């Protein structure tokens, strides 16, 4: 019997870089555990292998020294699936003759005809704003693209099937490799060559695969206009809630803060996500939504209004709020 996937060649340099980088080791371990059924960090889409699949994969791995065969049975990822889904190596373009990513715009930034996915107007406007400011660099392209990642699992008849995960729509930046590298280096050697650039890029742009949005995306313009009219009445008016500075700047702005840890504890007690009615949803799903969406828009909103804050209210301890002036906070 032969191994399920051909062994990657000349991987020593790439593996050495991973083992010497604590961040890479941590991300690889987290991706593995997120994909394993019955763990606290389990991904919502993880599927437990049947007894037959597990036993066959274990024996196959032992007989053929095929680690990927066993990994697929216990976490739904081959060895290089784990590396790619940990964002430790780049994704292959059009791997196995499957178009991925799908380029949605032409060389002028205009949307192509007969697109396979819908492109929201707001997303395309963001892309156009970026495209107009793109730098003129040789062998560089910017386009709007749809893409996905993959993992490999066994079907019940022990055939390998490919599942799409992490489907996303976003801005794709393309740089062409020098021909001497492109033509003569194995994939793993190319990954090792671009390793430093890739890790630096992820440090600089930690949200590259996360939600791109602002509080504005959650605002109903019609209701906002109605409340703005009410808030303009004479006399003392108290407006409270998430994003109330959209309604009125106010004479006094109090920012009520709640830590990430306290939010997670409240999720466990049944608190829903922002503008959702998912009180009884799995806690890990709530936290994932918060991590990728809500905390990010909240952080951006805080920075947008930071200079206008008159008082900062710490509301983490129920029944025991603490408050400081905005000036004291800014000078701390």
What is the domain range of residue 121? 12-204
Q: Nearest CA to 152 among 84, 236, 105?
A: 84
- In this structure, the answer to whether residues 180 and 47 fall within a common structural domain is yes
Q: Pick from 157, 176, 204: which residue ends a domain?
A: 204
Cis before residue 73, ω within 30 degrees of 0? no
Greater confidence (245 vs 185) lies with 245
- pLDDT in the model for residue 253: 92
Cβ contact 10:19 at 8 Å: no
Predicted TM-score (pTM) of the model is: 0.46
Please, what is the end-to-end C-alpha distance for the chain in angstroms? 66
- pLDDT in the model for residue 104: 94
- In this structure, the answer to whether residues 244 and 190 fall within a common structural domain is no
Q: Is residue 252 part of a domain?
A: yes
- In this structure, the answer to whether residues 102 and 47 fall within a common structural domain is yes
Strands (E), 261-327: 311-314, 322-325
- In this structure, the answer to whether residues 153 and 288 fall within a common structural domain is no
- pLDDT in the model for residue 314: 92
Instruction: Collect all residues with Cβ–Cβ distance below 8 Å to 181 and sequence separation of at least 6.
Output: 190, 193
Greater confidence (8 vs 133) lies with 133
Q: Nearest CA to 169 among 145, 193, 186?
A: 145
- In this structure, the answer to whether residues 35 and 174 fall within a common structural domain is yes
- In this structure, the answer to whether residues 135 and 220 fall within a common structural domain is no
Q: Are strands 140-154 and 102-103 parallel, antiparallel or unpaired?
A: antiparallel
Sheet bearing 102-103, strands edge to edge: 102-103, 140-154, 160-175
Q: What are phi and psi of 154, to 5 degrees?
A: -90, 140
Rounded to an integer, what distance in angstroms lies between the CA atom of residue 101 and that of residue 27? 23
Most confident among 29-43, 52-66, 209-223 (mean pLDDT): 52-66
Q: Is residue 6 part of a domain?
A: no
Model confidence band, residue 184 (pLDDT cutoffs 50, 70, 90): low
- In this structure, the answer to whether residues 42 and 108 fall within a common structural domain is yes
Please provide the average confidence, as pLDDT, over all residues in the chain. Answer: 77
- pLDDT in the model for residue 105: 93
- In this structure, the answer to whether residues 21 and 77 fall within a common structural domain is yes
Q: Is residue 192 part of a domain?
A: yes
Report the domain count for the chain.
2
- In this structure, the answer to whether residues 39 and 159 fall within a common structural domain is yes
- In this structure, the answer to whether residues 176 and 324 fall within a common structural domain is no
Q: Is residue 3 part of a domain?
A: no
- In this structure, the answer to whether residues 45 and 176 fall within a common structural domain is yes
Q: Is residue 69 part of a domain?
A: yes
Q: Nearest CA to 242 among 219, 265, 262, 261?
A: 219
Instruction: Collect all residues with Cβ–Cβ distance below 8 Å to 253 and sequence separation of at least 6.
Output: 245, 305, 308, 309, 310, 311, 326
- In this structure, the answer to whether residues 35 and 170 fall within a common structural domain is yes
Please give the average per-residue pLDDT across 25-47, as a whole number. 62
Give residue-wise pLDDT tens across range 266-307.
Answer: 988 999 988 888 888 888 888 877 877 788 788 888 888 888
């Amino acid at each position: 019997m032969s191994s399920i996937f051909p062994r990657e060649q000349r991987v020593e340099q790439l593996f050495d870089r991973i083992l010497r980088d604590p961040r890479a080791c941590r991300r690889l371990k987290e991706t593995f555990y997120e994909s394993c059924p019955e763990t606290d960090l389990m991904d919502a889409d993880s599927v437990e292998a049947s007894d037959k699949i597990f036993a066959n994969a274990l024996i196959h791995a032992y007989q053929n020294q095929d680690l990927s065969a066993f990994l697929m049975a216990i976490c739904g990822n081959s060895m290089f699936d784990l590396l790619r889904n940990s964002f430790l190596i780049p994704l292959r373009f059009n791997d196995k003759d499957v178009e991925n990513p799908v380029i949605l715009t032409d060389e002028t930034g205009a949307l192509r005809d007969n697109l396979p996915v819908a492109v929201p107007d707001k997303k395309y406007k963001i892309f156009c704003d970026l495209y107009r400011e793109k730098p003129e660099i040789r062998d560089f392209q910017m386009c709007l693209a749809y893409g996905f990642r993959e993992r490999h699992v066994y079907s019940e008849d022990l055939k390998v099937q490919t599942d799409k995960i992490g489907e996303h729509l976003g801005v794709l930046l393309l740089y062409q490799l020098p021909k001497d590298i492109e033509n003569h280096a194995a994939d793993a050697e190319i990954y090792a060559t671009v390793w430093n650039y890739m890790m630096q890029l992820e440090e600089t742009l930690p949200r590259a695969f996360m939600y791109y949005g602002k509080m504005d995306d959650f605002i109903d313009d019609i209701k906002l206009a109605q409340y703005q009219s009410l808030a303009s009445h004479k006399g003392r008016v108290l407006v409270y809630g998430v994003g109330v500075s959209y309604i009125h700047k106010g004479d006094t702005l109090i920012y009520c803060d709640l830590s990430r840890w306290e939010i997670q504890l409240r999720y466990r007690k049944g608190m829903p996500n922002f503008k959702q009615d998912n009180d009884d949803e799995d806690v890990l799903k709530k936290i994932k939504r918060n991590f990728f969406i809500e905390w990010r828009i909240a952080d951006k909103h805080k920075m947008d209004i930071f200079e206008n804050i008159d008082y900062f209210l710490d509301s983490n301890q129920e029944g025991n709020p603490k408050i400081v002036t905005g000036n004291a906070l800014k000078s701390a």
